Amino acid sequence: MKKIIITGGAGFIGSHVVRRFVTTYPDYQIINLDNLTYAGNLANLRDVEDRPNYRFVKGDITDAQFIDGLFTAEQPDAVIHLAAESHVDRSISNPIDFVLTNVVGTVVLLNAARKHWQGAYPAHRFYHVSTDEVYGALGDTGMFTEETKYDPHSPYSASKASSDHFVRAYHDTYGIDTVISNCSNNYGSHHFPEKLIPLAINNIKGNKPVPVYGKGENVRDWLWVEDHARAIDVIFHKAASGETYNIGGHNEWKNIDLIRLLCNIMDRKLGRAAGESAKLITFVKDRAGHDLRYAIDATKLKRDLGWEPSLQFEEGLEKTVDWYLANEEWLQDVTSGHYQQYYEEQYTSR
């Protein structure tokens, strides 16, 4: 029996992690702690919300009193921490929110773990979910390993790097059992349509311009979100205390090539003439400080714990498009209101 608080469980990756843990481990109690920001959506978890081993708690990880009370009341065995402000463009226009949630929120959780926990895994574990963006940008060659020096460039990646340092500091200073994973770009269902792939799907569907930053030459290493959730499961259960693992898809794509592939898939799915959707591609002003290339070397995770990505990108992208086309209502809900206003501000200032 384990009681696990998963923070950010109503978001994109968090909802996949919650679903995986709730359905794979019926004897665990899973508490989804989420403040339901614009990115949090309980509709992401409709299929598991009635399970007896699942509970949702609305709360802010930056609220120290609330978090302390939650630890007192629930006595959790472990935390899997995903709650964060996660979008680079938003971090450029509003960095403070990223410091508060990603840095202060992580330290608030670590303080609660420090106060309430004694004993290392399997009694207690603090799993911090992070990003490859902490390593900065690569040139045309090379890959990020767990030994790569941190070199963040955006306010988002700087805040995640800072939170990673705090997690390691709490392990080294107070002996808390921690593990960290740094993952590449995820894609799949329930992805908020401010990020490249769901934004492009949504715009192609609605016959709207598909904004490609700069020349579209930037490279990202895309991983199927369910493979990330599976990696988190394996690392949570098997990693030694204090370890770090990189997670990636061995799947590098230039943005413009990815968007062209997506346009071809959408043409087919929507019964459009070949080349029709690609006419929507619009090159816009580049992102400030735009990292050129990310690529993950996930050898350590394969060697130590046997994890490998399961899905080819083309297959994963088709599945993702199918999900968005079948879930019109979800898309409508998340693209109304606040998001509409963000979108207009983000793209009219270019």
Give the tokens for residue 91. Answer: 């971090």
**Which one of ligand NAD, ligand TYD, none is in contact with 36 (Cβ closer than 5 to 8 A by kind)?**
ligand NAD
Q: Find out whether 22 and 31 touch, Cβ atoms under 8 Å.
A: no
Give the tokens for residue 252. Answer: 């590098």
Q: Is 97 a catalytic residue?
A: no
Q: Find out whether 181 and 245 touch, Cβ atoms under 8 Å.
A: yes
Whichever of 7 and 277 has its CB closer to ligand NAD, that residue is 7
- Euclidean distance between CA atoms 107 and 64, whole angstroms: 9
**202 binds ligand TYD per the rule CB under 6 A:** no
Per-residue x/- track, 316-335, ligand TYD (CB under 6 A)? --------------------
Q: Find out whether 277 and 204 touch, Cβ atoms under 8 Å.
A: yes
Q: Is 133 a catalytic residue?
A: yes
Q: Find out whether 22 and 54 touch, Cβ atoms under 8 Å.
A: yes
Residue 260 one-letter amino acid: R
CB 162, min distance to ligand NAD, A:
12
Whichever of 148 and 185 has its CB closer to ligand NAD, that residue is 185
What is the DSSP code string of 198-211?
HHHHHHHHTT--EE
CB 12, min distance to ligand NAD, A:
4
* Residue in 44, 218, 251, 277 binding ligand TYD, rule: CB under 6 A: 218
Q: Which residue has the tokens 């696990």?
A: 4
Whichever of 34 and 77 has its CB closer to ligand NAD, that residue is 34
- Euclidean distance between CA atoms 111 and 77, whole angstroms: 15
CB 109, min distance to ligand NAD, A:
10
**185 binds ligand TYD per the rule CB under 6 A:** yes
- Euclidean distance between CA atoms 17 and 225, whole angstroms: 9
Q: Return residues touching ligand NAD (CB under 6 A).
A: 7-8, 10-14, 34-37, 39-40, 60-62, 82-84, 86, 101, 105, 129, 131, 160, 183, 185-186, 192
**224 binds ligand TYD per the rule CB under 6 A:** no
CB 202, min distance to ligand NAD, A:
15
Q: Which of 133, 164, 177, 252 is catalytic?
A: 133
Q: Find out whether 309 and 222 touch, Cβ atoms under 8 Å.
A: no
CB 220, min distance to ligand TYD, A:
5
Residue 210 bridge partners (DSSP): 281
Active-site annotation, residues: 132-133, 156
